[in-house]
Structure formats: structure tokens, C-alpha cells
A and B are shown apart, each in its own frame.
Chain A
């Protein structure tokens, strides 16, 4: 079935440390993997994404890696700052019914301690 597992559910790090969030998907037809950051009461914001034909992508302090064989993808945030505190969702995009739909992970609440 369609499923995305996300770990950990909560993560506390000291400011300046790194944070890693991991996701595993089940549908091998998934071909696109976005990461969203959602602050309390706000909309999910796309922060980085990776396509199935790429193994790694980096944007300043944020990077995403994809292992298609293992069906794993991970978000890496380096030099964390208090403003990185939020809930992070991974997603896998699945082609279906002539369009796409996202299967979201359950979310990770990241707290960066000053």
C-alpha cells in the first residue's frame, strides 16, 4: 500500500548542531520527494525537494539524500538556528489517475534550543 514512515517524531538539538530526519516510502512508483516546513498556524512551505533520478541535493544549510534501492530519503539541516524550530513533513509523490498525489510522512517536531 501507499505509506511513508517518518522518524523521529520529535527532535531536540542545541543551536549550531545538525539535525537529521529520515523517511521511508513503500510505493516504487514514487518519483519526487519534497520536504515541507510548517510553523504553528501557518501553511506548509516547500524547503527542498529531490527527484528520483538524483541522489543528493543541497541548498545552503539544508540537504536531502535519496536511496532509491532502499526507498529511503533524509533531510539534513546543519548549523541549526532557533528559527528552524517547526514541524517538518516529508512526502512522496505518486502518479495516479492521470495526475499525482502526495503521501505525507507523520511529521517531525524539531526544537532548536538556544
Chain B
């Protein structure tokens, strides 16, 4: 399996709902990422997990809660979202971590979940 998969493809939720996004990869990558992408904008980093531990939180509101249960799976739990949180949520994984001056992290993106908050 050489892909990052994400479910669901589309999600519509109300502001009082609780939902979760799921991301999976079986390439043995030990870094996984959540991005938010608004229309006509670049992906915006939200969280980075490295060896199943949260390494980076880009000051994301607490209504977004990431979870990495194992090295293949990454979840994003959503609660009390706002309409402005509607966006494409992308997951990515990377096979390399920091181990010297010339370690590079190619990131491979999943297809995304298109989220609409009503």
C-alpha cells in the first residue's frame, strides 16, 4: 500500500455535532500531519505527530483534537466547530525525521476530507 487514505471524503456537520476524521497509511512513515486548506489558499499546518507523539501544534483551537493511536493511524476529533472551519482537511505522512543536516521529509498527501459546518 503506497497511499495515504482519508475518510470520510465529505462531511457535513452542525455546530453542536461531534465528528472525527480518519487518516491511515501503511508505508511505515513515522511522521504524520494535519493540514487545513481553504479555497485558493495553500495548505495550512495544524498538527505534526512524530513517532505517535504530538510534536507541533500550530496554535489550533481546542475544538480540534488530534489523536495518533498507532503509527499507521491519525484521527482529528471535531467538536463545536464554526462555519469558518469549513475547508478541505488534508492528512500527510513522511518517511524521514530529523537525523542530521541532510535528512529530508517528502510529504505524501491523502485525498482530503471536504468539511462543511452549518
A residues near B (Cβ < 8 Å) are 31-32, 34, 36, 42-46, 49, 51-53, 87, 89, 93, 95-102, 104-107
Contact = CB atoms under 8 A, between A and B. Distances in A.
Contact of B98 (A43, A49, A99, A102): A99
Contacts of A45: 109
A98 B97 contact: yes
B110 A102 contact: no
A99 B105 CA distance: 9
B106 A34 contact: yes
Interface stretch (B41-49, B59-67, B69-77, B78-86): B41-49
Interface of B: 31, 33, 40-45, 48, 50, 55-56, 90, 94, 96-98, 101-102, 104-112
Contacts, number: 72
A107 B42 contact: yes
**Across the A-B interface, the 4 shortest Cβ-Cβ residue pairs:** A104-B42, A100-B105, A32-B104, A99-B50
Interface of A is mostly: strand
A32 B55 contact: no
A114 to B, nearest CB: 23
B102 A107 contact: no
Contacts of B33: 101
A97 B55 contact: yes
Given A46-B106, A89-B42, A98 B50 contact: yes
Given A51-B102, A99-B97, A104-B43, 5 more contacts: A32-B104, A99-B31, A102-B43, A106-B42, A107-B41
A105 B94 CA distance: 20
Contacts of B43: 44, 89, 102, 104
A43 B112 contact: yes
25 contacts: A32-B104, A34-B107, A36-B109, A43-B111, A43-B112, A44-B109, A45-B109, A46-B106, A49-B106, A51-B102, A87-B40, A93-B104, A95-B98, A97-B56, A98-B50, A98-B55, A99-B55, A100-B31, A100-B96, A100-B98, A101-B33, A101-B45, A104-B43, A106-B41, A107-B40
